[in-house]
Amino acid sequence: MTRKIELYGRLRDAGFGASLTVDIPPSATCREALASLKPVLRQQLHGCVLASNDEILSPGDKLPSGRLALLPPVCGG
């Protein structure tokens, strides 16, 4: 199954634009999704988490069906 993953912050300059797509099984966990991104983003993945519109996702969570975002360390304010 192909999933679109939105990119933010420094990930926008990783060469993929605002999002990238990966093939992930529908029942995959966030841990598995992050592992599938590792060969693509390599060291850029360090410190990143997946998130839905509503919350930060834990590694053991199943991927939600809606928007999926990959968030690097934050520095708002």
- Residue 47 binds to other proteins (criterion: CB under 8 A): yes
Q: Rounded to the nearest whole angstrom, what is the least distance from the CB of residue 66 to other proteins in the complex?
A: 9
Q: Rounded to the nearest whole angstrom, what is the least distance from the CB of residue 42 to other proteins in the complex?
A: 17
Residue 13, amino acid: D
35 versus 45: smaller Cβ distance to other proteins: 45
Binding mask of the shown chain, residues 52 to 71, with x at each position contacting other proteins by CB under 8 A:
xxxxxxx--------x-x-x
CB 37 within 8 A of CB 62: no
- Residue 75 binds to other proteins (criterion: CB under 8 A): yes
Which residues partner with 22 through β-bridges? 3
Say how far apart CA 45 and CA 66 lie, in whole Å.
21
Q: Rounded to the nearest whole angstrom, what is the least distance from the CB of residue 36 to other proteins in the complex?
A: 20
Contacting residues for 64 by C-beta, under 8 A, at least 6 apart = 52, 57
